[in-house]
């Protein structure tokens, strides 16, 4: 049979998976005759080779033998996708009822995932070894045969010099380490180079205040605090306990493999124009800065900057970004939603009910699911596993989508070691729980399990109580993050048991409105200039402040910018039609010049200026001076010139002297001399 343009080859794995190929074809809407095998990876491998040689794209319902199938397909020149039907559905106590789930898994596997952009990293093998004593020296000597080490010793007391020095040796203290695989820069304080004539023990020359060392790799054997944040996530940096010889050996082996050219995914796509971090030196949204565990995100003026080489791909920045400026690219949210849509739509179309979506990270959840399938009861037939690269990437729009698509429950499987990093995910789940509870769905539809124990996962999934089933429905994922979120929320409200017009949300939610104390607002429009999304707007013809709730991301820039401090935020999900249109927060008549009547400002701002200056500033003590504050810019100048003291008057201009003046004075002088009157010039 053919599904989404791919030829499907299904295998019962020697009869251990009950498959009804004809029923699957009907459930998935596939065309053509079903092709069912018992040992496709062994006795019937020729059938796969023949199918691959035909040049058609294939879909194989097995992942255990994926390397064999890929190698065979490569030889034949075909392309193949895989769906794990065995551990996820076929090996289960409810395997015979898992037909709708198997159909859903096959359909989901056909969703095209766009390729992730990649970065190039180059390492020439320059390794910086940092530590103390014999352990650090021995590690550098071990690496010298394959890499190019530089040794920086924190302590060197009693250390016997090597008979042959094959690498630079310094003594000092690394106070800062920046960079990534292939481009590390270490700042060393009191760096001193070893003296060649060291005899009984290493001696060093005069230290320099600070030195910069460059390296491709760093081996930290200092035993102290890590030199970088999130040391386990920084490519090319290995930090191990110098007292653990086995860990040191593993680190040496790993470092020797990090030479050459490497590709690293560009996990996050960043659009600076959408960032709501700051405006005019006023800080607004800091969600991504608070979540990034590696320090890859830093402020950069009105927006933030993300170093893709330092980014470890946890996705937390994308999960909490309210505008979509930071978007996870491996894969993007629209692809995740399309997978969800295909999975649940096919499950419901095949007759499945009470779907429980089990969201897990591929590396963590797949192993636990396999253990449950091999040693336990397997997954219940209504539990649909949904693998993602990183849980941190899941924003509110993705987390709310399963319920909007008809899932009765959402279960998040969290790796315990990652639990401290997932504060952004927990905040999004709290917002989702408040939203579902407010709309009458109930907050108990969302469950989180932080465990490495397959037995605990199995028990929890099989003991999940049934909740009221939701109607199956479809949802087309289109647009950016904000439009996807609004689409999902509108669908939740449309079918909600209690469709209230608004639901309060926890602080930090990316939805809500701006509240303005009208009496204190002067309509200065500082908030309008600071708003990065255009949610606040002015009117070109009248003193007015307008607001569109749909565009507000609750960044707080308006509140932080307001000089009168009369703005506050109210996080909520509002479903009234007014959220899509501008509403007037404040409007007043313009201030008119007391002399000519021309409108030149707002009454509240003019009166606030009068209140601040009248009687307190030396220029505005009399009634006449105060009245000038209520004049337009033209009348104010006219009034100044009409004052009696004429402060701008400079007197008659000085007449320049000309040649005629000098000739006239000469004639006058000659006349006085001829008459005997004497010269008028001083002697």
The share of the chain scoring above pLDDT 70, in percent, equals 98
- Whether residues 494 and 534 fall in one domain: no
Contacts of 126 (CB under 8 A, 6+ apart): 147, 148, 149, 150, 214, 215, 216, 217
- Whether residues 453 and 581 fall in one domain: no
Q: Cβ(182)–Cβ(158) under 8 Å?
A: no
pLDDT above 70 for 649: no
pLDDT above 80 for 652: no
Contacts of 621 (CB under 8 A, 6+ apart): 615
- Whether residues 539 and 423 fall in one domain: no
pLDDT band of residue 647 (cuts 50, 70, 90) is low
Q: Is residue 96 part of a domain?
A: no
448, 469, 498 — which closes off a domain? 498
Contacts of 211 (CB under 8 A, 6+ apart): 170, 172, 187, 188, 191
- Whether residues 470 and 436 fall in one domain: yes
- Whether residues 342 and 488 fall in one domain: yes
- Whether residues 160 and 303 fall in one domain: no
Q: Is residue 662 part of a domain?
A: no
Mean pLDDT in residue range 657-674: 88
242, 264, 286 — which closes off a domain? 264
pLDDT above 70 for 679: no
- Domain hosting 610: range is 594-641
Q: Is residue 31 part of a domain?
A: yes
- Of the ranges 47-61, 63-77, 284-298, 456-470, which is most confident? 284-298
Query: How high is the mean pLDDT of the chain?
Result: 91
pLDDT score, position 345? 93
pLDDT score, position 683? 42
Q: Is residue 664 part of a domain?
A: no
Give, to the nearest 10 degrees, the angle between helix 481-494 and helix 396-404.
30
- Whether residues 294 and 377 fall in one domain: no
Poorest-pLDDT segment among 76-80, 87-91, 370-374: 76-80
Q: Is residue 678 part of a domain?
A: no
Q: What is the DSSP letter of 204?
A: B
Element (H, E) at 187: strand 183-193
Q: Is residue 670 part of a domain?
A: no
Residue-wise DSSP of 58-92: EEES-STTHHHHHHHHHHHT--EEE---IIIIISS
587, 614, 629 — which closes off a domain? 587
Mean pLDDT in residue range 119-132: 96
pLDDT band of residue 390 (cuts 50, 70, 90) is very high
Q: Is residue 680 part of a domain?
A: no
pLDDT band of residue 468 (cuts 50, 70, 90) is confident
Q: What is the DSSP letter of 446?
A: E
- Whether residues 346 and 480 fall in one domain: yes
Q: Cβ(294)–Cβ(268) under 8 Å?
A: no
d(Cα 368, Cα 159) in Å, to the nearest integer? 49
Q: Cβ(620)–Cβ(614) under 8 Å?
A: yes
- Whether residues 259 and 270 fall in one domain: no
Mean pLDDT in residue range 294-306: 95
pLDDT in tens, 19-65: 998 899 888 889 888 789 999 999 999 999 899 988 889 999 999 99
Mean pLDDT in residue range 222-246: 95
- Whether residues 235 and 304 fall in one domain: no
Which CATH number do you get for residue 167? 3.50.50
pLDDT band of residue 678 (cuts 50, 70, 90) is low
**Number of independent structural domains in the chain:** 6
pLDDT score, position 620? 82
pLDDT score, position 638? 83
Q: Is residue 677 part of a domain?
A: no
- Whether residues 56 and 171 fall in one domain: no
d(Cα 46, Cα 160) in Å, to the nearest integer? 65
Which CATH number do you get for residue 279? 3.30.70.20
Which CATH number do you get for residue 44? 3.40.50
pLDDT score, position 479? 79
- Whether residues 127 and 157 fall in one domain: yes
Which CATH number do you get for residue 579? 3.30.70.3270
pLDDT above 80 for 676: no
């Amino acid at each position: 049979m053919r599904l989404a343009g791919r030829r499907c080859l299904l295998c019962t794995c020697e009869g251990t998976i009950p498959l009804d190929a004809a029923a699957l074809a009907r459930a998935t809407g596939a065309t053509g005759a079903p092709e069912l095998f018992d040992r496709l990876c062994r006795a019937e491998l020729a059938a796969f080779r023949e199918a691959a040689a035909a040049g058609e794209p294939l879909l194989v319902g097995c992942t255990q033998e994926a390397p064999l199938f890929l190698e065979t397909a490569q030889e034949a020149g075909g392309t193949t996708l895989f769906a794990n039907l065995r551990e996820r559905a076929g090996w289960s106590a409810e395997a015979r009822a898992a037909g709708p789930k198997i159909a859903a898994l096959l359909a989901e596997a056909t969703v095209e995932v766009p390729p992730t952009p990649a970065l190039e990293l180059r390492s020439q093998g320059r390794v910086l070894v940092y530590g103390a004593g014999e352990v650090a020296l021995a590690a550098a000597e071990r690496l010298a045969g394959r890499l190019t080490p530089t040794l920086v010793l924190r302590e060197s007391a009693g250390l016997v010099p090597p008979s042959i020095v094959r690498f630079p040796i310094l003594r000092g203290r690394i106070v800062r380490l920046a960079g990534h695989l292939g481009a590390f820069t270490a700042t060393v304080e009191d760096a001193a180079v070893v003296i060649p004539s060291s005899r009984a023990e290493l001696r060093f020359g005069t230290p320099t205040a600070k030195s910069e060392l460059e390296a491709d790799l760093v081996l930290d054997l200092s035993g102290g605090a890590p030199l970088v944040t999130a040391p386990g996530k920084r490519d090319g940096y290995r930090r191990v306990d110098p007292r653990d010889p086995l860990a040191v050996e593993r680190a040496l082996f790993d470092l020797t493999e990090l030479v050459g050219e490497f590709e690293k995914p560009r996990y996050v796509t960043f659009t600076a124009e959408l960032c709501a971090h700051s405006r005019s030196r006023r800080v607004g949204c800091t969600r991504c800065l608070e979540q990034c565990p590696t320090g890859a995100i830093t402020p950069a003026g009105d927006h933030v900057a993300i170093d893709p080489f330092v980014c470890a791909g946890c996705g937390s920045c994308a999960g909490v970004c309210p505008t979509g400026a930071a978007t996870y690219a491996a894969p993007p949210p629209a692809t995740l939603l399309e997978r969800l849509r295909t999975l649940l739509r096919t499950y419901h179309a095949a007759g499945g009910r009470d779907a429980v979506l089990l969201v897990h990270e591929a590396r963590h959840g797949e192993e636990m699911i396999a253990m449950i399938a091999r040693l336990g009861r397997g997954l219940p037939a209504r539990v649909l596993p949904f693998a993602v690269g990183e849980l941190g990437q899941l924003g509110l729009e993705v987390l709310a989508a399963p319920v909007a698509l008809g899932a009765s429950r959402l279960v998040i499987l969290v790796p315990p070691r990652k639990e401290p990093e997932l504060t952004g995910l927990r905040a999004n789940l709290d917002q989702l729980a408040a939203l579902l509870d407010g709309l009458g769905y109930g907050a108990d539809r969302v469950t989180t399990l932080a465990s490495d124990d397959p037995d605990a996962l199995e028990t929890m999934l099989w003991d999940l109580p049934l909740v009221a089933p939701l109607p199956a429905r479809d949802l087309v994922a289109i647009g950016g993050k904000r439009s996807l979120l609004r689409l999902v929320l509108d669908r939740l409200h449309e079918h909600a048991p209690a469709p209230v017009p608004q639901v309060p949300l926890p602080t930090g939610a990316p939805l809500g409105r701006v509240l303005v104390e009208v009496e204190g607002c002067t309509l200065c429009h500082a908030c309008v200039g600071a708003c990065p999304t255009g949610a606040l707007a002015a009117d070109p013809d009248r003193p007015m402040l307008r607001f569109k709730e749909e565009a507000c991301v609750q960044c707080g820039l308006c509140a932080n910018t307001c000089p009168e401090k009369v703005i506050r935020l109210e996080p909520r999900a509002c479903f009234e039609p007014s959220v899509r249109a501008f509403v007037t927060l404040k409007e007043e008549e313009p201030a008119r010049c007391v002399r000519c009547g021309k409108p030149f400002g707002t009454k509240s701002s003019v009166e606030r200026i009068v209140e601040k200056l009248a009687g307190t500033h030396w220029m505005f003590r009399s009634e006449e001076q105060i009245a000038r504050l209520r004049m337009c810019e033209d009348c104010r100048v006219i009034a100044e010139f009409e004052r009696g003291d004429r402060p701008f008057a400079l007197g008659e201009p000085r007449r320049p002297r000309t040649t005629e003046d000098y000739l006239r004075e000469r004639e006058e002088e000659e006349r006085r001399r001829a008459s005997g009157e004497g010269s008028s010039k001083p002697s």
